Amino acid sequence: MRAFYRTTLMAFKALRRNIMRSALTTLGIVIGVAAVIAMTEIGQGTNTAVQRTIKSMGADNLLIQPGTASSGGVSFGSGSVFTLTPQDSDAILRECPAVAEVAPIVRARTQVVYGNRNWVPVYIYGTTPSFLKVRDWEDLEEGEGFTDQDVRNGTAVCVLGQTIVRELFADESAIGKEVRVQNVTFRVVGVLSKKGANMMGVDQDDILLAPWRTIKYRVSGTSASTANQSAAAATTDPSQKVNSLSGLYPNQGTSLYQTPTPTQVADTPQPIRFTNVDQILCKAASTKEIDLAIKQITELLHERHRIKTGQPDDFSIRNMTEMSKALGSTSQTMTRSLLFVALVSLVVGGVGIMNIMLVSVTERTREIGLRMAVGARARDILRQFLVEAVVLCMMGGLIGILLGRGVAVLVRVSLGWPTEISVLAMVGAVVVSAGVGMIFGYYPAWKASRLDPIEALRYE
Amino acid sequence: MDLIKLDNLYKTYHLGEMDVPVLKGVTLSIGHGEMVALMGASGSGKSTLMNILGCLDRPSAGHYWLDGQEVSRLSADARAMVRNRKIGFVFQSFNLLARTSALENVMMPLSYTASGLSDREGSRQAQAMLERVGLGDRLDHHPSQLSGGQQQRVAIARALVNRPPLVFADEPTGNLDSRTSVEILRMFQQLNAEEGITIILVTHDATVASYAKRTIHIRDGMIEEGVYGHEGIKSSA
């Protein structure tokens, strides 16, 4: 331990003896590490900003839709049966830890009227205030969103997207005005901020948000006929189901299961679905937890809907795989390119170190000879020069970290780019610069240790 | 018992295909507390003999006992240990570390000592040695701030800091003027007389050699003892 301390001290003294050259030698490492640190901080900041943007497009969102009704092999398409309830939505939020926010959605498609103007928005959504959280849409342009109380009471209030505001109100402020939707008068309480088109090219600002009870009971009626035109063919009354096979298979009528006794029925009450919602929109707690969230939701809905293993689901869950992949690959590409730049710059720096250490060994040949004459063994010499190179590199690394932080701060202050401190990059920089010192310092040190003391003492 | 005992020592260098014999059977013994001058012309094998005596090199054949230990077959690391503990070197060109204080220069050999003195003990010991050579007031001076004689005295202090029984001085006065040379040689005599350190002066200068009690001449790889002559000087070109 003392030997190590002494060698380190000796290395510092040797480097201080030629401070200018030491500084210039390590400059390669300083610049390399500074570049890595600055780029990591700026890159991570940018990455986070990009990720936030992609997330605001709904990358973490999961859309739960009711399953399809099918009859005799004829499927009526997604949304043709009513299996999702507002209670499902509450249960998901309560029981799935991987889900951060949940918003039930009731859809409608109809005309919105203000004064002598009218407009048919792409989306008329009845939902809860958490919809805005799910969609990362919380900062409104004007006014405020409706509340949970409004949802409970079925109040006729709404929040409008920018496109509707432009179409109906032109230059006026929409706040406090009243619009008519199927003869129900909604008071506009808020205007959403601009979001633009989504990935499919559909204008996301063409939206009207209102409490779901209001839309459900006062506007939409049965939403299937309005939201999904093709589903109108599917009726919910089982007696009217098309079943062309019943005549062919007389055994069809035989029940597979025992008829439950009244006691059993009393013990396991079947929920009576008073209300259904068209969709449930969820937000996973994080991008990584999307798959976990899907699993948890599937299990929960199986339980709630009493779906046995092997039976087809009466719901489907969609995620934004493409977007979340884009999310992941963005950060991965950035990390990799940064790592590559880091490696190149450090190798360049390391070659500089090796060069100067070789010069230093040649220059100090007599010193090496002398040290050997007074009793230094080959490994003592090796250690001395190796420690010198490592100390040089680590000093360079530390100065580089400070410089890199400085550059990052400067960039943030002067250009306003987002930056983020990366402890990992700092630790990595120190470790890598020490490693560079060890790798590139080894050859000169080995060369020094192999000198013949007689030759070295006579060297001019 | 003798401090140095050489028995029929040979050293042959291999230059390509050719074998160049340099030492051709040297038998020699030097006792404790002697002060010996080793003289010889260049090419006589003087340097080779000194390198072998100083444990910097190994003989091709023959035996070398240093302080009772057979050192002619030791490994490089083992010889480094022997050099550290038993031998001090003083060179013609001083070989001090530049931009390093006198005290640190003297302390340098201690860092390779296995016993591992603490820094404070080491610095006290080095300081004592510098006082011994009359440089107690120059501890923090760098070599560039010292005169040639002072530098050589620092080198002597460095050679003595591990208290070796044997000190080699390879042309110690070669870079000094005559007055300083006398000072340095007097100091060797004093160390030899007062502390009983065996001193081997390697030189081609008979004046320098005259400070020693005994002179060993080497010519063509063979020992010619006790003859005070000037052949070496004449034949060196």
Q: Write out pLDDT tens, residues A73-87.
A: 777 776 677 888 888
Contact check, Cβ <8 Å, B81/A374 = no
Quick one: pLDDT at residue A460?
77
Instruction: Quickly count helices (H) and strands (E) in chain A.
Output: 15, 14
Cα separation values, B154 from A383, B21, B136, B171, Å: 26, 37, 10, 16
pLDDT, tens digit (0-9, with 9 covering 90-100), for A211-266: 998 998 888 754 444 444 333 344 444 444 445 555 555 555 566 677 778 888 78
| 8 Å CB contact between A386 and A378 | no
Contact residues on chain B for A453, CB-CB shorter than 8 A = 56
Contact check, Cβ <8 Å, B99/A373 = no
Quick one: pLDDT at residue B234?
36
Q: Which residue of B has its CA nearest to A18?
A: B99
Quick one: pLDDT at residue A261?
82
pLDDT, tens digit (0-9, with 9 covering 90-100), for A333-365: 776 787 787 778 888 888 888 998 999 899 899
**Residue from the list B112, B119, B158 with its beta carbon closest to the beta carbon of A376:** B112
Q: Which residues pair with A279 in a beta bridge?
A: A105
Q: Which residue of B has its CA nearest to A13?
A: B100
Average pLDDT on A286-293 reads: 86
Higher pLDDT, A330 or A146: A146
Average pLDDT on A152-181 reads: 91
Q: B171: which DSSP letter?
A: S
Average pLDDT on A56-65 reads: 83
Question: Of the ranges A263-267, B97-101, B178-182, which one carries the lowest mean pLDDT score?
Answer: A263-267
Question: To the nearest whole percent, how much of chain A has pLDDT over 90?
Answer: 32
Quick one: pLDDT at residue B144?
92
pLDDT band at A207 (very low <50, low <70, confident <90, very high): very high
User: Angle CA(A290)–CA(A292)–CA(A294) in degrees, nearest 5?
Assistant: 70
Sequence-distant (≥ 6) Cβ neighbours of residue A325 within 8 angstroms: none
Residue with tokens 């940018």: A46
Higher pLDDT, A311 or A256: A311
Whether A455 has its CB under 8 Å from any CB of chain B: the answer is no
Contact check, Cβ <8 Å, B56/A453 = yes
Average pLDDT on B136-147 reads: 91
pLDDT band at A197 (very low <50, low <70, confident <90, very high): confident
Question: To the nearest whole percent, how much of chain A has pLDDT over 70?
Answer: 88
Rounded to two decimals, what is the model's pTM? 0.68
Contact check, Cβ <8 Å, A377/B80 = yes
Contact residues on chain B for A366, CB-CB shorter than 8 A = 95
Average pLDDT on A177-191 reads: 91
Average pLDDT on A138-146 reads: 88
Quick one: pLDDT at residue A373?
92
Strands A68-71 and A74-78: antiparallel
A220-224: Cβ within 8 A, 24+ apart? A220/A106, A220/A107, A220/A108, A220/A126, A223/A106, A223/A107, A223/A108, A223/A278, A224/A79, A224/A80, A224/A82, A224/A278
Quick one: pLDDT at residue B231?
40
Contact residues on chain B for A373, CB-CB shorter than 8 A = 54, 56, 83, 89
User: Angle CA(B161)–CA(B52)–CA(A454) in degrees, nearest 5?
Assistant: 75
3-state secondary structure of A189: strand
Quick one: pLDDT at residue A139?
85
CA distance to partner chain A, nearest, from residue B91 (Å): 9
CA distance to partner chain B, nearest, from residue A357 (Å): 18
Q: Please check the confidence at residue A60 and state whether its pLDDT lies above 90.
A: no
Average pLDDT on A325-336 reads: 71
Q: Which residue of B has its CA nearest to A1?
A: B116
Q: Please check the confidence at residue A42 and state whether its pLDDT lies above 70.
A: yes
Average pLDDT in chain A: 83
Sequence-distant (≥ 6) Cβ neighbours of residue A457 within 8 angstroms: A366, A369, A370, A373, B56, B91, B95
Average pLDDT on A302-317 reads: 86
Quick one: pLDDT at residue A113?
92
Whether A35 has its CB under 8 Å from any CB of chain B: the answer is no
Quick one: pLDDT at residue A211?
94
Higher pLDDT, B235 or A212: A212
Contact residues on chain A for B119, CB-CB shorter than 8 A = 6
Quick one: pLDDT at residue A325?
74
**Residue from the list B51, B77, B112 with its beta carbon closest to the beta carbon of A374:** B112
Please state the φ and ψ torsions of residue A205, each to the nearest 5 degrees: -85, -5
Higher pLDDT, B129 or A346: B129
